[in-house]
Amino acid sequence: MTHTTSPTPALDQSADQIADAFPARVTIDLAAIRDNTAELRSRAESAGVMAVVKADGYGHGLVPSARAALAGGATWLGVAQAAEGLALRAADIEAPILTWLYAGGADLRPVVEAGIDVGVSSATALTAVERAARSSGRTARIHIKVDTGLGRNGVWFGTDFEPLVAAAVRLQSEGLLEVVGIFQHFAYADAPGHPTVVLQQDRFAAAVAFAERAGCHLEVRHLANSAATLTNPGAAYDLVRPGLALYGLSPVPDVGDPASFGLRPAMRLDAQVALVKRVPAGTGVSYGHTYTTQRETTLIDVPIGYSDGVPRAGTNCGPVQVGGVRQVVAGRVCMDQFMVDVGDQEVAEGERVVLFGPGSDGEPTAQDWAAATGTISYEIITRIGPRIPKRYIGEL
């Protein structure tokens, strides 16, 4: 199976025609997402898998990624924003969905009516769910998110958790909602030996015990993200909640690469060469002349830039593959293009330059870009701009 999605269609032009007109593409291997999910499902043993497809499926496409993960054995889907959950329902995906990030006072009625579970992190959020349940006439399903030490989204374990649980149980007794889940997020899951990991697990266990004593009708307890799924089997509980690993990247690159965990990256980004030119020694390249040629050489122009997700921090360090040869970005990455000094290598205009891929053909990986630019692979794959068309391969 091969199909392409593209930016906003133009009049009387097919999506494929528009995609073909753009000089770059992202290729997504849906079979890889399916197989990665199956691997994670195997590692989770008796726990189910909630496939996290937020942020447009980590840049891989929300709906295609969700379908691939379900095909691989995921039984739940997780999204950050409510709009993402509604988009999955609009695509006729019926699997259980959890959404957990929304502004105070949000109108959650469409979410409750769509049968989407809602994460609750505060009294204000609980009030929003109550309002949605009353106005829709439907019983809402909630998962209370407890902050056991991340200091981010979630009700604080130390002082606010017990009053929130008590309030939720009162609404449960009225038939307005069911408290079906408790969840948390690790601060240091990518450092399995960090002392906060054990501390957070202990606090989570205490939170679960309190919620059950208080009368919550818990169906699922979940705290394991990709890193914990791969390195901390004791954190599996009823569901694991992987994100990055679904897409074949390692959340713990210091511990192991994707292959060591049985994963394969699903995304490849390449672009066509727009220009090839021979220049003399001493030629300044791109804005600010942060790179100067040391001898007569060949420069190539690759027509995507930071507006397309190529990190500006890749200036003079971003790795690419040109004709099977590893090269490095020369000069400053611009909004729509960047340059590469290929020396005496013969390159033709229209030839494809690989920015990153699985690495199986010697091309750079998303982790290589992350290491070069001082970030994480999550950012590399999720920052790809919307004007680059996605091409899907892999039979499901």
Point out the residues that are catalytic: 54, 287
DSSP-based three-state secondary structure for 137 = coil
Q: Measured at the alpha carbon of residue 63, what is the angle toward residues 122 and 110, in degrees to the nearest 5?
A: 40
Q: Which residues contact 314 (CB under 8 A, 6 or more apart)?
A: 329, 333, 338, 369, 372, 373
Long-range contacts of 307-310 (CB under 8 A, 24+ apart): 307/335, 307/336, 307/385, 307/387, 308/24, 308/336, 308/384, 308/385, 308/387, 308/388, 309/380, 309/383, 309/384, 309/385, 309/388, 310/338, 310/355
Task: Identify whether the C-beta of residue 65 lies closer than 8 Å to the C-beta of residue 33.
Answer: yes
Identify the bridge partners of residue 275 per DSSP, sorted by sequence position.
Answer: 301
Task: Identify whether the C-beta of residue 257 lies closer than 8 Å to the C-beta of residue 250.
Answer: yes
Task: Identify whether the C-beta of residue 196 lies closer than 8 Å to the C-beta of residue 149.
Answer: yes
The answer for 250, left when phi > 0, alpha when psi is -120 to 50, beta otherwise, is: beta
- φ, ψ of residue 18 to 5 degrees: the values are -65, -45
From CA 308, how far away is CA 40, in angstroms rounded?
31
How many other β-carbons are positioned within 10 Å of the β-carbon of residue 276? 16
Give the pair of three-digit tokens for residue 263. 């994963």
Question: Which position has the token pair 């497809």?
Answer: 53
